[in-house]
Structure 1
Amino acid sequence: MFDSGVGGLTVLAELRKLMPKAPVIYAADIAGLPYGAKSEAEVAARVAGLLGRMAERYDPRLICIACNTASTIALGMVREVLETPIVGTVPAIKPAAKVTKTGVIGLLGTEATVRQGYVDDLAREFADGKTLLRHGSNQLVALGEKKLRGETVSVDEVAKAASGLILQPGGENLDTVVLACTHFPLLEPELREAFGKDVAFIHGAAGIARRIAHLLEGQSFGFFARSFAVTTGEIDDFKRLSGAFERHGITRLRKF
């Protein structure tokens, strides 16, 4: 399970409900964080290179790119070069279009994610006739990382980072927000308080977990296999996240 940081833990939480004993290698490219501030070429090269090396070293039976930015930019490229089955993460525009009553949907992602043509394609296919407002906030990624490290994150900080979504023309009619970054569900309590009780929040973690479970259906896992996490960043900083990983059955943290 690969992400730029710890946002993928929101996907892992859903996967544990379906496959509680499956051994998982969680890979956090914290040295490359944030992806949202990088160019498409930088993200594609970094993700393809890292996943190639990780696939060679760990020989996983499946890879999940638990990152919207990495998926919308590099998923096709990685699938071309690796034989391992790969599950990506894309903005949950389809379910949001079914839920909205006002017809105004907000897309909250990183700066890189919200500008992708992939998002345009999803909007045309699943939200035709609806209004899709977009806002890219790399600051919300940093706040999600901060929160999981046990640091205080205020509603005001989150509201400020997300305010560009609702301040757009038509934002007053917004009733559904797609959290198009796996970090953002970590901040859902603060986002709910900032946007108000009449706004619904949707993300794809449960759907991704179901897809992984479906692809691995019928496969057995050896009792000797154990989960662990690796980081491309500093191991001392990574260990500050040990409590968050332990909640998902991961007690071993390593440097990649």
Structure 2
Amino acid sequence: MLVDRDAPIIVFDSGVGGLSVLQGIRAALPQAPLVYAMDRAAYPYGQQAEATLLARVPALLGRLAERYRPRLIVMACNTASTVALAAVREALQVPIVGTVPAIKPAACMTQTGVIGVLGTAATVRQAYVDRLSAAFAADRLVLRHGAPALVDYAEARLRGAPGDGDAPRAAINALLAQPGGDRLDTIVLACTHFPLVRDALVETAPRQLRFIDGTEGIARRCQALTTGQSWPAQAPTGITLTTGEPAECTLLVETLARFGLGPAQAL
């Protein structure tokens, strides 16, 4: 299929977490035009009802697809993906890349047989996580913990605020305190916000732990889906969109610029 060389890749999340995914895509496809879309009016998705996300996410992505005619859309949010990925794929005639917990590689990497899944409360309770665990980690102990405070901590950090400095330690300790947690050696970062604060997780961990996320896998999938397509000679400054008031993103301007994005505009 012929694709306009200026057709963008849309990266979508409720907040700044998807920037970790966008960074991986930028490294893999440096000439790609990018649109980063945040649904800040409904942030955080981890505290939304599933019915709300099933109605909201396909509608928003439909508007974005109509406006920008993207070559593909990346749902850079574990919660949105585990709840609404199938509905979005059914609704849109655009390739959709979802974000799912990296349980399969974690199950291969663990040396003790115990892995943790750290995400939003909505993600860690999903049947999708049950299926991934059954398919790829049936002989492993999979511990789970929902850490909404860690999501807020990442959002604060990217705005230049300190945030709740106890959030990283508390999230890790909640996994370690569960039965079998003393043997845990690998933690799946099942929220795209969490790779953005990996440094704090490493620093506050009471012992050496391995942290893994799906960013590289998403970037490889984007490469595969765009093989043979043409690109601009140089990627333009990325477009940032947000629901709600763009003025609420004023403190993100410097962070967005570091990721090659312009100031937020109204979605």
What range is the shorter-chain TM-score in? over 0.9
What letter matches 2:255 in structure 1? A
Q: Which residue of structure 2 aligns with residue 232 of structure 1? A: 243
Structure 2 distance, partners of 1:169, 1:21, is: 47
Alignment counterpart, residue 5 of structure 1, candidates 8, 11, 15:
15
* RMSD of aligned alpha carbons: 1.5
Aligned-residue offset at 1:224: 8.6
Structure 2 distance, partners of 1:102, 1:21, is: 41
Alignment counterpart, residue 86 of structure 1, candidates 91, 96, 101:
96
Structure 2 distance, partners of 1:40, 1:164, is: 25
Alignment counterpart, residue 243 of structure 1, candidates 237, 254, 261:
254
1:136 and 2:146 correspond: yes
What letter matches 1:167 in structure 2? A
Aligned-residue offset at 1:251: 2.1
1:21 and 2:35 correspond: no
Alignment counterpart, residue 178 of structure 1, candidates 175, 188, 194:
188
Q: Which residue of structure 2 aligns with residue 53 of structure 1? A: 63
Unpaired segments ≥5 residues, structure 2 = 1-10
TM-score normalised per structure 1: 0.96
Structure 2 distance, partners of 1:233, 1:188, is: 28
Aligned-residue offset at 1:93: 0.2
TM-score normalised per structure 2: 0.92
What letter matches 1:245 in structure 2? L
Aligned-residue offset at 1:233: 2.5
Q: Which residue of structure 1 aligns with residue 117 of structure 2? A: 107
What letter matches 2:246 in structure 1? I
Structure 1 distance, partners of 2:55, 2:21, is: 24
Q: Which residue of structure 2 aligns with residue 190 of structure 1? A: 200
SS at 1:251's partner residue? Answer: strand
Alignment of 1:32-43 (within 5 A): 32-43=42-53
Aligned-residue offset at 1:223: 5.2
Change (3 A) 1:99 1:176: same
Q: Which residue of structure 2 aligns with residue 253 of structure 1? A: 264
Aligned-residue offset at 1:91: 0.1
1:157 and 2:167 correspond: yes
Aligned-residue offset at 1:95: 0.5
Change (3 A) 1:156 1:139: closer
The total of aligned residue pairs comes to 256
The 8 Å contact of residues 3 and 67 in structure 1, kept in 2 or not, is answered as yes
Aligned-residue offset at 1:179: 0.2
Unpaired segments ≥5 residues, structure 1 = none
Aligned-residue offset at 1:161: 4.0
Alignment of 1:198-209 (within 5 A): 198-209=208-219
Change (3 A) 1:102 1:225: closer
Structure 2 distance, partners of 1:147, 1:126, is: 34
1:65 and 2:75 correspond: yes
Aligned-residue offset at 1:225: 6.9
Change (3 A) 1:224 1:98: closer
Structure 1 distance, partners of 2:263, 2:33, is: 12
More displaced 10-residue stretch of structure 1: 194-203 or 68-77:
194-203
